[in-house]
Structure 1
């Protein structure tokens, strides 16, 4: 038996985690900007602010249930960009944790986006 309440609660908890990751981007800009590859244009801090804002925006869209599908798809795309630009090399060197985490979060975002009618 499906429980819409449990599903909605799971979405809100997921959004809370995503939003928290976004807040961490703003709280630890200097630490995170060192993770930006050298081939990326511009200053690393700009990318941290952009991605942090994207994470928070996606979380808000899920929580308020407005524009949830496009927000979830954009979140999934952003997370998969992280996978291929930031996490692939460490995974190939034996540290797959971040690659697996962001891949799983991207797939969850797609599932949440697909079940939305908004």
Structure 2
């Protein structure tokens, strides 16, 4: 029961974040450190929505969590860390730590599915 509630509590914010990428895409595009800003905003929005759905319905959830963790680590290294280094300590450090924690959580959840994959079901 607790793991189901926790899975939903972890997944649902990514659905909201994904929607924000479509609603506020033009404002977010300036944060993207590579060419094609709005494209990357929409792509990562789709990725977060897909991860949310995958985790909730538990279909390809392990893969979704691994990829979500990678995406979040990319945010940490390419957006938040450079901002911290450039002196925007308070808001950027908060976002860096938030995304780092969520990446770790994604990989923790992925690991729980890995353990379940190793269970051999008895033949009937």
Is TM > 0.5 for Structure 1 vs Structure 2?
Answer: yes
Q: Which has the higher helix share?
A: 2
TM-score by length of 1: 0.89
Name the CA distance, whole Å, in 2 between partners of 1:91 and 1:59. Answer: 28
Match of residue 31 from structure 2: 35
Runs of 5+ consecutive residues of structure 1 not aligned to the other structure = none
Runs of 5+ consecutive residues of structure 2 not aligned to the other structure = 118-124
Q: Deviations over 1:6-65 (max 9, x none)?
A: 11111111100111100100110111111112xx13x21000000000000111110000
2:7 aligned with 1:14: no
Secondary structure of 2:31's partner? coil
User: How many aligned positions are there?
Assistant: 111
Report which of the two structures shows the higher radius of gyration computed on alpha carbons.
Answer: 2
Higher relative contact order (CA 8 A, sep 6+): 1
Q: How far 1:88 moved relative to its partner?
A: 0.3
Match of residue 111 from structure 1: 108
Name the CA distance, whole Å, in 1 between partners of 2:106 and 2:19. Answer: 18
CA RMSD of aligned residues (A): 1.1
- Structure 1's consecutive aligned runs of 4 or more residues displaced over 4 angstroms after TM superposition are none
